Amino acid sequence: MSHMTDMPSTKTFLITGVSTGLGRALGRAALAEGHRVVGTVRTPADARAFEALDGDAHARVLDVTDHDAVDTVVAGAERDLGPVDVLVANAGYGHDGLFEESSMADLRRQFDVNVYGTVAVIKAVLPHMRERRSGHIIAVTSMGGLITMPGLSFYHGSKFAVEGILETLGKEVADFGVHVTAVEPGSFRTDWSGRSMIRAPRSIADYDELFEPLRARRVNGSGTQPGDPDKAAAAVLRVVAADQPPTRLLLGTDALRLVEAGRAAFEQEMRAWVDVSASTDFDEVGRSA
């Protein structure tokens, strides 16, 4: 019998990457609301710190790039702690580097964590949710899964990939009572541009004028971003509580502004080239012949 029968408003969360940033804020907020939280971390010290929090906190040491370990951790959580009602795939990092200065190994590592790690965790949880005909899958992507800026091509590529996978998955599981939401933060006061950012070394002077100010802004802006991780956590919990959660949720006025501008630019260009776009179908005559 599920531990939830007498307390239907409490849920079991599985959150990857609870030692820092949005994952930590969300773990704390969910615990404060009385939910059970299984949080994954990278080190035993982080595990002890998470389990020392007030509330029903359970830590698991996990590297999301170890897909066998992902399956083992999820199966163990389902067995020992009850059904996972809400998955938050949050673990990830940013690769900061110009396309031409970043290596294929950089690209593989970025996708290993941000794409394959996210997919592996969702794959481990989804069959249980589908069989129960209930559950909510949330993945933290980024406003950078919808818009781009120079020097983050591999990061944007990974987040665009997750966006496409999530949107498709949501359509596939809609009839099973399983909700899928992509959460897209703007700039938040987390470790994303500090400890969690990998920076490729500079080597090509041609890019200095474009890129150096951007990199300096990201380095120097760490700790002064507009986004409050605790408010982001509260927003995610509102989505979890909603009867009809959104397929996408932008977090932050900067995300709203930049995505709106990006969409407007795309619409403008699409209209400018609409005649060329429409010119590639077979003629009606050719089709009927």
**C-alpha 9, offset from chain centre:** 25
**C-alpha 206, offset from chain centre:** 33
State residue 209 phi and psi, 5-degree precision: -65, -40
Q: How far is CA 288 from CA 250, 282, 283, 285, in A?
A: 47, 10, 9, 5
**C-alpha 157, offset from chain centre:** 13
CA dihedral of 96, 102, 106, 107, whole degrees rounded to 10: 90
Q: Which residues contact 16 (CB under 8 A, 6 or more apart)?
A: 23, 39, 40, 62, 64, 88, 89, 90, 91, 117, 121
- One-letter amino acid identity for 247? T
State residue 242 phi and psi, 5-degree precision: -75, 145
Active site residue 155: yes
Burial class (CB within 10 angstroms; exposed 0-12, middle 13-18, buried 19+) of 239: middle
Q: 142 near 159, Cβ under 8 Å?
A: yes
CA angle 26, 32, 36 (to 5 degrees): 75
Q: Which of 93, 116, 155, 207 is catalytic?
A: 155
Q: Which residues contact 223 (CB under 8 A, 6 or more apart)?
A: 189, 194
**Residue 195 and residue 199: Cα distance in Å, rounded?**
10
Q: 53 near 28, Cβ under 8 Å?
A: yes
Q: Indicate which residues carry an active-site annotation.
A: 155
